[in-house]
Amino acid sequence: MPKVSPERLEATRQQILDGARRSFARHGFEAATVRVLEREIGLSRGAIFHHFRDKDTLFLELAAEDAEEMSAVVAEAGLVQVMRELPARDSGWLGVQLEVSRRLRTDPAFRMAWEQRLETVRAAAVERLRRGREAGVVRDDVPVEVLAAFLQLVLDGLVLHLATGSAAGDQDQQRAVLDLAEEAVRRATGPAVAARTDMDEDFPATTPAQEASA
């Protein structure tokens, strides 16, 4: 028999998670002291530790939440789309991602537990590429696993790049770079065309580039 409406409770929980995300992203895990968290979240220790056992648990649940969302987006829109939208809508996700990587490196137990999530994303990407190949937009001279690994690698690169704050750079160039990555997994459609495809939207038969050249 909850004395406070479940929505109110969940709202507080989200308030904490969001503030924590911003804090961890901006300062890093250890520099995001509980005092910093308090300030950014707008609640006191009492509230924070009432909802999460400890700072570590808070971080872990935060990471889990982000990973969950990530998986969903990749499954729905594809890795490339994720990359394209990455710079735009970041509310701490990148920073947290960097912290997760760090943690993966230093904490074997965490790594073990996390591996499952990595595999989920990988599988989603592979499946998506396979369908793309059947639709004829993905090259078929290289195993989809390799293509997936390649895209994953580029995504990792993008995460690291953006996370370090290099986002300020030329946006046109950034798009061009992603075009390059996408082209690398597409079926060659002609001599050296850096195609901007909406592979992520139902694999249309023609790309904007092709349309433009039409």
Q: Interface with DNA by CB under 7 A: which residues?
A: 1-5, 9, 12, 30, 32-35, 43-47, 49-51, 53-56
Of 97, 105, 138, the residue nearest 121 (C-alpha): 97
| Distance between CA atoms of residues 27 and 98, nearest Å | 11
When CB distances are held under 5 to 8 angstroms depending on the partner's kind, the choice from DNA, a second copy, none that residue 12 binds is DNA
Residue number with CB closer to DNA (9 or 146)? 9
Q: CA neighbours within 13 Å on the CB side: how many for 2?
A: 7
Residue number with CB closer to a second copy (75 or 160)? 160
| Distance between CA atoms of residues 8 and 184, nearest Å | 48
Residues 6+ apart with CB under 8 A from 159: 86, 94, 97, 98
x/- map, 63-102, a second copy, by CB under 8 A: --------------------------------x--xx-xx
x/- map, 31-60, a second copy, by CB under 8 A: x-----------------------------
x/- map, 12-31, a second copy, by CB under 8 A: -------------xxxx-xx
Which string of DSSP letters, residue by residue, matches 98-118? HHHHHHHHH-HHHHHHHHHHH
Residue numbers 150-189 binding a second copy by CB under 8 A = 150, 152-161, 163-166, 173-174, 176-177, 180-181, 183-185, 187-188
Strand-pairing partners, residue 138, are: 186
Of 61, 66, 59, the residue nearest 30 (C-alpha): 59
| Distance between CA atoms of residues 38 and 45, nearest Å | 6
Residues near a second copy (CB under 8 A) = 25-28, 30-31, 95, 98-99, 101-102, 104-106, 111, 118, 139, 141-143, 145-147, 149-150, 152-161, 163-166, 173-174, 176-177, 180-181, 183-185, 187-188, 191-192, 194
